[in-house]
Amino acid sequence: MIGVYDSGYGGLSVLRELRAVLPRHDFVYLGDSGRAPYGGRDTDTVLDFAEQCVERLFEEGCRLIVVACHTVSCVALRHLQRRYVQGPDSQRRILGVTIPAAEAAVAVSQGHVGVIGTTRTISSGTFAMEIAKLGPHRVSAHAAPLLAPIVEEAWEDSDIARLAVARYVAQFPGIDTLVLACTHYPLLLPAFEAAVGRGVRVLDPSPAVAARLLDWLARHPGYAEEGTGALRVLCTGDPDVFRRHGARFLGAELPAVQHVAEEQGRLAHRDSVRVVLGQVVRDSAPGAKTDPPR
């Protein structure tokens, strides 16, 4: 069983490609939609959320996890691997999307790669570092914090989306390849292709991620055996909303979505989403003193 983790819906676009090349494998997808977006979060918060999500997937029976979120892959992947993968004989593996994306960009670029992603993805500098390991390519990287929320609102076919994409793309003069370093952005592909200059290639890394995983499994048998092609989906937000919007990213209807929520530092299953109106007062710890209201 293969786990796929993303901050929300976007990783379903990666999952779509993974299932296309591994149709007989079983997948568990976890979208942290209740705490998304990650792109503007501080590093420690991203690390905390990432730990909780991969631990939940391990508890679901996954021995191999693909971190589909570019923000987590750029900021937290090495931390997750050091914390949960103990040596070459470990029975667990955690893979990311940054290296496959960098490799795909270098393979098609003529020398100047543009990278567009969330604020944390870009500020990490990870893409520039990985591309530098592969060749002497120039890298221009810019954050586009408005684009993921636009896709979350299902406005990818709107004038707002096209204008926003064009405004961001204008920051990349002279590039020959533009890497969409956020899993939401493939839904904006027509807008990107309309906005880039002639001869500029817009690269969705998801197919490269899938091809890289297929090759990795061939070299590391035993981490994920074939199953029945089953899919389970977990989310930290509203399961009904996740199922409805998630179909746009997966390109197919989602199965029933299970709800998980943070309880004492871990993600636990819940039967339903608790919706509370008005003010909320949390019970104090046993024996704790509380001041009376004034």
Which residue in 53, 62, 182, 235 is the catalytic one?
A: 182
Q: Do 213 and 220 touch, CB atoms closer than 8 A? A: no
Q: Note whether 223 and 217 are within 8 A (CB).
A: yes
69 is catalytic: yes
Instruction: With CA atoms as reference, report the closest residue to 108 among 202, 191, 210.
Output: 202
Residue type, 104: A
Cβ atoms of residues 84 and 95 within 8 Å: no
> Scanning the structure block, which residue is given the tokens 């979060």?
41
Q: Are 258 and 242 in contact (CB under 8 A)?
A: no
Q: How far apart are CA 255 and CA 233, in angstroms?
A: 7
Give the tokens for residue 228.
């029945």
CB 25 within 8 A of CB 218: no
Q: At what angle do helices 98-108 and 206-219 cross, to 10 degrees?
A: 110
Catalytic residue among 62, 69, 74, 235: 69
Enter the DSSP assignment of 41: S
Smallest CA-to-CA distance from 32 within 182, 233, 184, 236 is with 236
Is 74 tagged catalytic? no
Q: How far apart are CA 152 and CA 267, in angstroms?
A: 23
Catalytic residues: 69, 182
